A and B are shown apart, each in its own frame.
Chain A
Amino acid sequence: MQRILFAVLISLLLIAPVAAQSDDPYEQLLKELWCPLCNGIRLDVCEQQVCEQMRDLIRQELDAGKTPEEIKAEFVDLYGPVVLGEPPREGFNLLAWVIPVILVVAGLAAAVVLTRRWSAQTAEDEPMAGAVAARAPDIEIDEEDEYLARVEREVNEL
């Protein structure tokens, strides 16, 4: 069960959300490109004159038969990677993609190691030390409140 849970967790981490989708390549391309002058504004909703002209250019080039990939590459060349809204996955900027993955993996690995080690230690120390036994079970009520403790214990022992 632990393994399954963990596998589910990891597979969830591998899922990356993507931008909204559209059937029209023009609309779709506008949703994947970003205003080079503003912070975090997509090309399709940007009101700047420069974006207006960029949209016109995309329309013309699509009509001229260029593929969206070609246009994207051309835009990156012309305006810089800023139009992608994210660092390109090459050279030094690859770090922007690698480090988050390292952080996630390292964090989870540390958590796994910690839980493993802690639970292994307790297994040796069985039966539990007084400090643990003295603690109330899964409740936040006053510890003398026997009544609810019982109700609550039933909840836990369903």
Chain B
Amino acid sequence: MSETVTPPSVPDVQPEKRSRGGSALFIGVLALAGLALLAVFYYGVLNPSSQQIRSGAAPDFEITTFDGETIRLSDFRGMPVVVNFWASWCVTCRDEQPILEDAWRRYKGRVMFIGLDYLDQEPNALAYLEEFDVTYPNGPDKGSRAYAAFNVQGVPETFFIDAEGNVQGFHVGPITYQQLEERIQALLSESGS
């Protein structure tokens, strides 16, 4: 392109310097607001909500089971714990429920099982537990507090906690017999050593 531009000779705009008056205050307030915003984003990026607890100490929780017993996760320190999040309205939870109950009966005394009922109603939950003849402790996760603490992404989801109370891993979606066996063996071998 051979186009040339002939700018009209604009005199340099040089207004006499004045002091930074009230505008400075305005800019200052704005800068503070912006910094606060950036801090929030920075925190958000460092703590992505979309990831389950993968390792480290498992968040403790206390529930009142449907049998009226109050239990805490930390009560079972010294024994591996399988924590399962479920709900009566959850269709795929039904696939894994018999598998979990079966494993509980076989490993009773060596591995603890706790079921946390997510966003549910007592009558529906009781009917569900009865249907699958579930015998390990189950209780409502009130206010979805444990669900939030573990950063669960959806039911069913199962967390595996070793004897020291650390999260060893988790499984998203319905678990199969094989997968559950492997996880439990891993929990037992670790606490045995």
A and B directly contacting (CB within 8 A): yes
* Number of residues on chain A facing chain B (CB within 8 A): 20
Check B72 for interface membership: any CB of A closer than 8 A. no
Within 8 A of A (CB), among B115-174: 119-121, 123-124, 140, 142-145
Q: Are A82 and B144 in contact (CB under 8 A)?
A: yes
- Across the two chains, which residue of chain B brings its CB closest to A48? B89
Q: Are B124 and A53 in contact (CB under 8 A)?
A: yes
Task: Say how far A54's CB is from chain B's closest CB, in angstroms.
Answer: 7
Selected interface stretch from A5-13, A15-23, A26-34, A73-81: A73-81
Q: Are B87 and A80 in contact (CB under 8 A)?
A: no
Interface size class of B (residues with CB under 8 A): 10 to 19
Q: Are B143 and A53 in contact (CB under 8 A)?
A: no
For the complex, give the distance between the alpha carbons of A54 and B124 in Å: 10
Task: For A36, list chain B residues within 8 Å (CB).
Answer: 119, 144
Task: For B121, list chain A residues within 8 Å (CB).
Answer: 53-54, 56-57
- Across the two chains, which residue of chain A brings its CB closest to B154? A37
Within 8 A of B (CB), among A88-123: 114, 117
For the complex, give the distance between the alpha carbons of A68 and B140 in Å: 22
- Of A49, A76, A78, A80, which contacts B89 at CB under 8 A? A49
Q: Are B89 and A53 in contact (CB under 8 A)?
A: yes
For the complex, give the distance between the alpha carbons of A114 and B124 in Å: 61
Task: Say how far B153's CB is from chain A's closest CB, in angstroms.
Answer: 12
Task: For A78, list chain B residues within 8 Å (CB).
Answer: 140, 142-143
For the complex, give the distance between the alpha carbons of A22 and B193 in Å: 64
Q: Are B142 and A77 in contact (CB under 8 A)?
A: yes
Check B88 for interface membership: any CB of A closer than 8 A. yes
Task: For B145, list chain A residues within 8 Å (CB).
Answer: 80
Task: Say how far A112's CB is from chain B's closest CB, in angstroms.
Answer: 14
Within 8 A of B (CB), among A46-75: 48-50, 52-54, 56-57, 60
Within 8 A of A (CB), among B29-80: none
Task: For A77, list chain B residues within 8 Å (CB).
Answer: 142-143
Task: Say how far A14's CB is from chain B's closest CB, in angstroms.
Answer: 25
Q: Are A79 and B89 in contact (CB under 8 A)?
A: no
Q: Are A80 and B124 in contact (CB under 8 A)?
A: no
For the complex, give the distance between the alpha carbons of A52 and B178 in Å: 34
Task: For B124, list chain A residues within 8 Å (CB).
Answer: 53
- Across the two chains, which residue of chain A brings its CB closest to B125? A53
Task: Please list the residues of chain A having a beta carbon within 8 angstroms of any beta carbon in chain B.
Answer: 36-37, 48-50, 52-54, 56-57, 60, 76-82, 114, 117
Known: A54-B121, A57-B123, A82-B144. 17 other contacts (CB 8 A): A36-B119, A36-B144, A37-B119, A49-B89, A50-B89, A50-B120, A53-B88, A53-B121, A57-B121, A60-B123, A77-B142, A78-B140, A78-B143, A80-B142, A80-B143, A80-B144, A117-B22
Identify the 7 closest CB pairs spanning chains A and B, nearest first. Answer: A80-B143, A49-B89, A57-B121, A50-B89, A80-B144, A50-B119, A53-B121
- 20 A–B pairs (Cβ distance < 8 Å), ordered by A: A36-B119, A48-B89, A50-B87, A50-B89, A50-B119, A50-B120, A53-B124, A56-B121, A57-B121, A57-B123, A60-B123, A76-B143, A78-B140, A78-B142, A78-B143, A80-B145, A81-B143, A82-B144, A114-B22, A117-B22
